[in-house]
Amino acid sequence: MNIPEIDLPRVVIIGGGFAGLKLAKTLNTNLCQVVLFDSNNYHTFQPLLYQVATAGLEPDSIAYPLRKILKNKKNFHFRMARVLEVDSEKNRIDSTVGQLEYDHLVIATGAQTNYFGMENIERNSISMKTLIESVNLRSKILSNFEKALNTSDLKEQERLMNFVIVGGGATGVELAGALAELKMHILPNDFPDLDIRRMQIHLLEASDKILGAMSEKATTKSEKFLRKLGVNVWVNTMVKDYDGKTVQTSKKDFPTYSLIWAAGVSASLVKGLKTKALKLNRLPVDEFNKVLEYDNIYAIGDVASTQTNEEPFGLPMLGSVAVQQGRCLGQNLNRILQKKSPEPFIYRNSGTMATVGRNLAVVDFPFLSTGGLFAWLIWCLVHLMLLVDFRSRIIVLINWIWSWIKFDKGIRLIISPNFSLKKSN
Amino acid sequence: MNIPEIDLPRVVIIGGGFAGLKLAKTLNTNLCQVVLFDSNNYHTFQPLLYQVATAGLEPDSIAYPLRKILKNKKNFHFRMARVLEVDSEKNRIDSTVGQLEYDHLVIATGAQTNYFGMENIERNSISMKTLIESVNLRSKILSNFEKALNTSDLKEQERLMNFVIVGGGATGVELAGALAELKMHILPNDFPDLDIRRMQIHLLEASDKILGAMSEKATTKSEKFLRKLGVNVWVNTMVKDYDGKTVQTSKKDFPTYSLIWAAGVSASLVKGLKTKALKLNRLPVDEFNKVLEYDNIYAIGDVASTQTNEEPFGLPMLGSVAVQQGRCLGQNLNRILQKKSPEPFIYRNSGTMATVGRNLAVVDFPFLSTGGLFAWLIWCLVHLMLLVDFRSRIIVLINWIWSWIKFDKGIRLIISPNFSLKKSN
């Protein structure tokens, strides 16, 4: 694949998400050659995918060309390709664009939607883990209402206008809240011929509370906020099956054409490693993020499971963990390449947060749990600062201010080829 | 299709482009019910499509949800559907969502790419008339360079890195200039492993000059600007065939995987009209934009051909003509609905312009022809003001300022499903 052979050790990184990107930025390329693989040519800021899916932001505001982010790094090479297999005996990976040898390999492949083996749900539901899925979801939501106009069958309209979101984590809560805002402020104006009050948003959670990973206060407040926005929250509700028309659960049946599956993820593994994966497919790593049984293979981010006394099942699959591990491993590899000793990874909990809607968010900091307008302002500020570049920050800020003043979400285009009329007719 | 039957005449508009949108805005819906059909749920600002194709603007900045633009109009209904046929005997249209009767029918279906019967070119070339095509073109351009990295075959690299644009009108000139800017400022940084100097941009024109519809001065200046940017301009060059690998022309062969066809358009007709179409499929209309042989069927925009003494072949297919005809017909229908006499359409030439690149544009006003920085500033200002809403204006302005200062085009994502690695593997 035409990667130059130079007189420096080669670090191969698989995945340009939060972990892989931070690692690539941190590595000192005077000491090594870095080759980054990703199947997309961009990094996705996943926390805001739900705003793309609900017409609040354009996809280009939350995705960044990886080449652009890393353009000033020498001895750095990006390849848009999927890594198919690792041959750890030969220190070599095989990819869709050929083979490459490595000195150090870092697996930062992240996580994918977990359907827990339920094939019907995998086939018929919608997921929101990638940029393309989010754009498709936006098209699906809007297309449903266009279709609802063309039928007088109330059962059919109900299926088109009902949305069932499974999974009461941050993704499910944020998406439910954003859909509720579409229902309140946008859809009644866009579709005066439809009785939008009949649109129902159901949020289903298998455990006994939503935002289970957050504080009791966050759970209670977010439930209150969701109720205020008209979302039906169903806890202790297990999904059993979905045929594309009706969701069967342990509580009742929900007729809908749109089941959005945000109930869980599992790590995306690369083939060829002999280390036995743990729960949710995650790779066990030591305190230096080195994969057990290997000397030159590391794992960071969602795919890695660092066990500590406080977190016997591994650290949570969060962007903040991924960024910290990427930075730590980068610094450690820089040390190792200079024959210095690496330092163990210590996770610093910087807090978790979720937004429910306009002026409504919940925030858990180590020193403070709060909810409401103040939490919402913190949420906005933190997410703005986390965006990769200045241009995106300005554009996201303008979109947010615009939406806030005008009660509007402007990006309501149906552009997915899957739902375009030209293709389907 | 659930359009309410009310006690007002019904005006059916086919197409939400410049003409149809302006008409819908102008019609007084106290006097009539308006039903607008478009196969997309958005209006596309076509003059800036080339900036989407060359990573300068996000698609959402230049497309607007039709429902949003027209949301405050009573007795207005939008249907995302294609009109299949007109039954002028029964005053009824048939569409992908059912039949509908009309009192007045307005055909504003615009134009589509014209391949002049060359099937190989239609199959193998790329067009840039729609938003989806522009996004696909962006993905194709960027994917080509990703692919070029993975081959050592110089012939293959040449085919990937060469771009042949056919058609020296505004679209071809603007696209060639934008590609040249990618070559100068973006691609060498993004692909340090490739020798971007070997990338060639060819602009082919069958007649003896580019921008033939503009003044002699505009032609000369734009050719000078394109040469300065490194574009190879080939006039008097007829394309004969293209097999997807080599463009055969009357002058020489061009090896390339990317032939962009901007050589011409023809009107998009609706089936069922008995009026014989003119050159380029356009419908002959009288001075009130009424289609010949009909009393209640009108045509506006690219699809209509108004013959005058100055323009024996019809007015040019320009956005400004479409907008003026939409406004005029709207006012005339408002008059007719009040039993007043309509007024004939008179085209007021507001000028034409084309941009070639950073600080380089040509402008023909009725009173002034100029080129260079001043023309470029006029071009920017006029296009900003023509954008439909304030949010888009700010976002486009920020993107332009950003690009201008940083010599950057930020929207370099490969998101088209057609070119995504996940689909193709």
CA distance A58 to chain B (A): 6
Residue A411: predicted pLDDT: 83
Nearest chain B residue to A405 by CA: give it. Answer: B391
Q: Is residue B67 part of a domain?
A: no
Question: Mutate which of B58, B84, B421 to disrupt the A interface (most A C-beta within 10 Å)?
Answer: B421
Dihedrals phi, psi of B161, to nearest 5 degrees? -95, -5
Nearest CA in chain A to B411: A60
Question: In chain B, which stretches have pLDDT less than 70?
Answer: 416-425
Round to whole Å and give the CA distance between B374 and B353: 12
Residue-wise pLDDT for B144-190, tens only, equals: 999 999 999 999 999 999 999 999 999 999 999 999 999 999 999 99
Q: Do A132 and B65 touch (CB under 8 A)?
A: no
pLDDT of amino acid A408: 85
| Interchain contact A421–B (C-beta under 8 A) | yes
Contact A421 B4 (CB under 8 A): no
Same domain, A259 and A270: no
Q: Which of B280, B308, B337 is the last residue of a domain?
A: B337
Chain A contact set for B191 (CB, 8 A): 67
Both B231 and B87 in one domain: the answer is: no
Interface probe for B, chosen from A415, A416, A423, A425 (most Cβ of B below 10 Å), is A415
Q: How far is B208 from chain A (nearest CA, A)?
A: 37
pLDDT recorded at residue A417? 52
Tell me which chain A residues have a C-beta less than 8 angstroms from the C-beta of B143.
80
Q: Say whether both A216 and A288 belong to one domain.
A: no
Which residues have CB under 8 Å from B313's CB, separation 6+?
B279, B305, B307
In sequence order, which residues have a C-beta less than 8 Å from that of residue A220 and are 6 or more positions away?
Answer: none
Give the pairing type, strands B232-234 and B200-204: parallel
Nearest CB partner across the interface for A82, out of B135, B411, B421:
B421
The span from the CA of A137 to the CA of A260, in Å, is: 9
Contacts of B408 in chain A (CB under 8 A): 68
pLDDT on residue A406: 86
Taken in order B80, B86, B91, B92, the sign of the CA dihedral is: negative
- The answer to whether residue A272 neighbours chain B at the CB level (below 8 Å) is no
In this structure, the answer to whether residues A273 and A256 fall within a common structural domain is: no
How far is Cα B8 from Cα B28, in angstroms, rounded to an integer?
11
Q: How many domains does chain B have?
A: 2
Q: Between chains, do A414 and B63 touch, taking CB under 8 Å as contact? A: no
Q: Which CATH number fits the domain that encloses residue A34?
A: 3.50.50.60
Residue B102 C-alpha, separation from nearest chain A C-alpha, in angstroms: 18
A420 — contact with chain B (CB < 8 Å)? yes
Compute the distance between CA of residue A165 and CA of residue A183 in angstroms, rounded to an integer.
Answer: 15
- For residue B394, the SS3 value is helix
Could you tell me if residue B64 is inside a domain? no
- Say which residues have a Cβ less than 8 Å from residue B230's Cβ, sequence separation at least 6: B180, B183, B184, B201
Q: Contact at 8 Å (CB) between A37 and A13?
A: yes
Contact A398 B399 (CB under 8 A): no
Residue partners of A397: CB distance under 8 A and separation at least 6 = A384
> In chain B, which residue's Cα lies nearest the Cα of A188?
B71
Verify whether the Cβ–Cβ distance B41 to A131 is below 8 Å: no
Task: Please tell me whether residues B97 and B123 are part of one structural domain.
Answer: no
Q: Which of A314, A302, A316 is nearest to A351 (CA)?
A: A316
Q: Are A311 and A362 contained in the same domain?
A: no
**Is residue A258 classed as helix, strand or coil in its secondary structure?**
strand
Task: Give the residue from chain B lying closest to A401, CA to CA.
Answer: B391
User: Which residues of chain A make contact with B421, given a CB cutoff of 8 A?
Assistant: 39-40, 80-82, 96
CA distance B333 to B31: 9
Q: Check A189 against B60: CB less than 8 A apart.
A: no
CA B157/CA B178 separation, integer angstroms: 21
Residues A401 and A257 in one domain: yes
**B295-317 burial, b for 16+ CB within 10 Å, e for fewer?**
ebbbbbbbbbbbeeeeeeebbeb
B295 touches chain A (CB under 8 A): no
Residue B55 lies in a domain: no
Is A71 in Cβ contact with B190 (below 8 Å)?
Answer: yes
State the pLDDT at residue A409: 83
- A132 and B420 within 8 Å at the Cβ level: the answer is yes
**A215, A85: one domain:** no
A133 touches chain B (CB under 8 A): no
Enumerate residues 181 to 220 of chain A having a beta carbon within 8 A of any beta carbon in chain B.
Answer: 189-191, 193
- ipTM value for the complex: 0.91
Q: Tell me how far the alpha carbon of residue A260 is from its chain's centroid.
A: 14
Q: What is the DSSP letter of B291?
A: B
* Candidate from B58, B97, B193 with C-beta closest to A150: B97
Phi, psi (rounded to 5 degrees) for A64: -130, 135
The answer to whether A398 faces chain B, any CB pair under 8 Å, is: yes
Q: Is residue A369 part of a domain?
A: yes
pTM (2 decimals)? 0.93
How many interchain CB pairs under 8 A, A with B? 169
CATH of the domain at B384: 3.50.50.100
The strand order across the sheet containing A104-107 reads A76-80, A33-38, A10-14, A104-107, A297-299
For B77, the closest chain A residue by CA position comes to: A193
**Quick one: B238 and B385 in the same domain?**
yes
In chain B, positions 148-187, which contact chain A (CB-CB < 8 Å)? Answer: 149-152
Q: Using CB atoms and an 8 Å cut-off, which of residues 353-392 of chain A contact chain B?
A: 389, 391
Distance CA(B254)–CA(A137), nearest Å, equals: 41
Distance CA B313, CA B192 (A): 50
Q: Are residues B17 and B89 in the same domain?
A: yes
Q: Which two tokens stand for residue A100?
A: 């490459």
Indicate whether A347 belongs to any domain. no
> What kind and span of H or E run contains B35?
strand B33-38
Find, in chain B, the residue whose alpha carbon is nearest to that of A414.
Answer: B41
Q: Does residue B283 sit in the same domain as residue B301?
A: yes
pLDDT by residue, tens only, chain A of 425 residues: 889 999 999 999 999 999 999 999 999 999 999 999 999 999 999 999 999 999 999 999 999 999 999 988 999 999 999 999 999 999 999 999 999 999 999 999 999 999 999 999 999 999 999 999 999 999 999 999 999 999 999 999 999 999 999 999 999 999 999 999 999 999 999 999 899 999 999 999 999 999 999 999 999 999 999 999 999 999 999 999 999 999 999 999 999 999 999 999 999 999 999 999 999 999 999 999 999 999 999 999 999 998 777 777 889 999 999 999 999 999 999 999 999 999 999 999 888 999 999 999 999 998 989 999 999 999 999 999 988 888 889 989 999 998 898 888 878 888 865 433 333 32
Nearest to B67 among A80, A190, A417 (CB): A190
Instruction: List, for residues B303-338, the tens digit of each pLDDT value.
Output: 999 877 777 788 999 999 999 999 999 999 999 999
C-beta atoms of A96 and B425 within 8 A = yes
In Å, how far is B77's CA from the nearest CA of chain A? 8
Per the domain annotation, does A56 fall within a domain? no
Of residues A56, A93, A28, A142, the one with CA closest to residue A270:
A93
Residue B49: inside a domain: no
Axis-axis angle for helices A373-386, A390-406 (nearest 10): 150
Yes or no: say if B33 and B10 are a contact pair by the CB < 8 Å rule.
yes
Q: Work out the burial of residue A37: count CB atoms within 10 Å of its CB; fewer than 13 is exposed, 13-18 middle, 19 or more buried.
A: buried
- The CA distance from A375 to A371, in Å, is 5
pLDDT of the residue at B34: 98
Does A4 lie at the interface with B, CB-CB under 8 angstroms? yes
User: Residue A412: which of B68, B411, B413 has the nearest Cβ?
Assistant: B68
A112 lies within 8 A of chain B by CB: no
What is the domain range of residue B86? 10-39+81-112+266-337
Phi, psi of A328 (to 5 degrees): -60, -45
The answer to whether B61 contacts A59, with C-beta atoms less than 8 Å apart, is: no
Nearest to B413 among A65, A142, A425 (CB): A65
Q: CB distance A68–B2 less than 8 Å?
A: no
What token pair was written down for A311?
């977190």
pLDDT of B417 reads: 52
Shared domain for B217 and B305, answered yes or no, is no
Indicate yes or no: CB of B422 within 8 angstroms of CB of A146: no
- Closest residue in B to A418 (Cα–Cα): B417
Cβ distance B146 to A39 less than 8 Å, yes or no, reads no
DSSP label at residue A182: I
| Beta-carbon separation of A58 and B59 below 8 A | yes
The verdict on residue A182 lying in a domain is: yes
CB contact under 8 A, A59 and B58: yes
